[in-house]
Chain A
Amino acid sequence: MNSRIIIVNVIRWFLLLFVQIFLLKNMGFYDLSTPFIYVLFLLLLPFGIPNILLYVLAFATGLALDAFYDTMGVHATACVVLAFVRISFISISLNRDAIDDPEPSLSYMGFQWFSLYAFLCVAAHHLVLFFLETFRLTEIGYTLMRCGLSCIFTLLIIFLVEFIFYKRTPR
């Protein structure tokens, strides 16, 4: 069971980064809306993961992305923020002892919880990402617009993927 989770996550990591780097990197609407689907990997890590491991994974994933985007540290920082939001949101919204689902995916957690969870994480990630990329507050309107539109695009793809791999589980 445990090794299965690890294998699934490793495969998911490679798949998502592959799609992100070779497909979605070349996609975008007028430089306004660029999807970052690879955050789904961090969203779907199992509940039981220790905090330190989560941060290390987030940082490493971000650095891997940075290597391909030539933006050393930007994605890594954004992923770390996402990890923090994920930990905070899970600890606030769920009772730690009552969690019996393996991972926070749409099929286990239901649409309502998962949509709020995904929205908060993705929004935090994109905010940090775009503000680190522009690195100034003078174009704040444009940056926020890019951030918002990219959020919508990313969430759209995340839901698409989640519905495709939807497992009907007895709830």
Chain B
Amino acid sequence: MRNLWIFISRYNAFFLFIIFFFVGIYLTVKNNAYQRSVTLNSSNEIVGTAYERLNVFKRYLNLGMVNDSLAAENAKLKSQLLGLTTVDTAKDVKVVDTVTNQQYTYLAAKVVKNSVTLRNNIMTINKGTDDGIKSGMAVIAPQRGVVGFIRDVSPHLATIQSLLHKDTKISVTLKKNHALGSLVWGDGNFDIKKAFVKEVPNHIKMYVGDTVVTSGYGSFPAGVLVGKISKANVATNDNFLSAELNLFTDFSTLQYVYVVKDKRADEQKALESMAKPNE
């Protein structure tokens, strides 16, 4: 110990230099926006590459589950196709053109980065403006369940503000009686399988096991399954009820998502902006 002190005091110039130098660097990086952004960007690049490598392995491990889900979806689509092809066109009925008049189209995208452990979780998918993705589009999970909204878009990538984010709010209804509510992850909730439906009017009766679906008022199409209520009629301090529900979406194993393109989104927005706010 004595020798150590002698060593340190003998070369005190060097040790003091190290201390002051790193304090200076710390101040520089902490207080200057440009230097901080350079540091963050380069470290993000390294982290991003590492995640991409890790993702390859993870994808392989989850292959079985993804296969099952794809098979299930295939079966569903096939049954729908069967329903369409067996329409008797010989009869004189009016056929609604569902191909050119379809409001929603779905675009499959692969999740390249996902997070579930933070207060505000953001994921990244491998489709961007080149595939027609715009900020604000809805994102749903492969079989059932909602994921979130598109947040920022670059040519080949886009980030999703997932439901596990404090600013995400999705308009939902009870499937049974069409009572409106809004879906949030909830303050102080860190369970990725749970979320809350808030702002349900007081006179609505909710029961455990009720299914919650999207209302179709936002960018989500109507009727997307969200979850099942696990704790009904939680009283809040205001005039509304809230309920806790188990989400159908498993955010931790999410690998593919569907981005919902609403063909009439722009039209709707333009129309609605015509109304004056204080009419």
Q: Is chain B a partner of chain A in the same complex?
A: yes
Point out residues on A near B: beta carbons under 8 Å. 51-52, 55, 58-59, 62, 71-74, 76-78, 80-81, 83-84, 87-88, 91, 132, 135-136
Partner pick for A72 among B16, B32, B39, CB 8 A cutoff = B32
Measured CB to CB, the nearest residue on chain A to B26 is A73
Contact string, B13-46, partner A, CB cutoff 8 A, digits 1/0?
1101100110111111111101100110000000
Closest residue of chain B to A90 (Cβ to Cβ) is B13
Q: Bound state CA distance, A76 and B30, in angstroms?
A: 14
CB–CB B24/A76 < 8 A: yes
Residue of A nearest to B35 (CB): A135
The 8 Å CB contact of B13, one of A62, A78, A84, A132, is: A84
Distance (whole angstroms) from the CB of A115 to the closest CB of chain B: 23
Cβ contacts under 8 Å, B27 to chain A: 72-73, 76-77
Interface: B103 (CB within 8 A): no
Are B24 and A77 in touch, CB under 8 angstroms? yes
Residues of chain A lying within 8 A (CB to CB) of residue B12: 51-52
CB distance B16 to A136 under 8 Å? no
Inter-chain contact A80/B28, CB cutoff 8 Å: no
Are B21 and A80 in contact (CB-based, < 8 A)?
A: yes
Residue contacts A-B, CB under 8 angstroms, 26 given? A51-B13, A52-B12, A55-B16, A55-B20, A58-B20, A59-B20, A71-B32, A72-B27, A73-B29, A73-B30, A73-B32, A76-B27, A77-B24, A77-B27, A78-B24, A80-B20, A81-B21, A83-B17, A83-B20, A84-B21, A87-B13, A91-B13, A132-B28, A132-B35, A135-B38, A135-B39
Whole-angstrom distance between the alpha carbons of A135 and B32 in the complex?
11
Which A-chain residue is minimally distant from B24 (CB atoms)? A77
- Which of B17, B29, B38 contacts A136, CB < 8 Å? B38
A47 to chain B, nearest CB (A): 14
Pick from B17, B31, B39: contact of A55, CB under 8 Å: B17
Beyond A73-B31, A74-B32, 6 extra complex contacts between A and B, CB < 8 Å = A74-B28, A77-B28, A78-B24, A132-B28, A132-B35, A135-B35
Q: Distance (Å) between the CB of B270 and the closest chain A CB?
A: 44
Closest 10 CB pairs of A and B: A73-B27, A77-B24, A72-B31, A73-B28, A84-B17, A80-B20, A87-B13, A76-B24, A135-B35, A51-B13
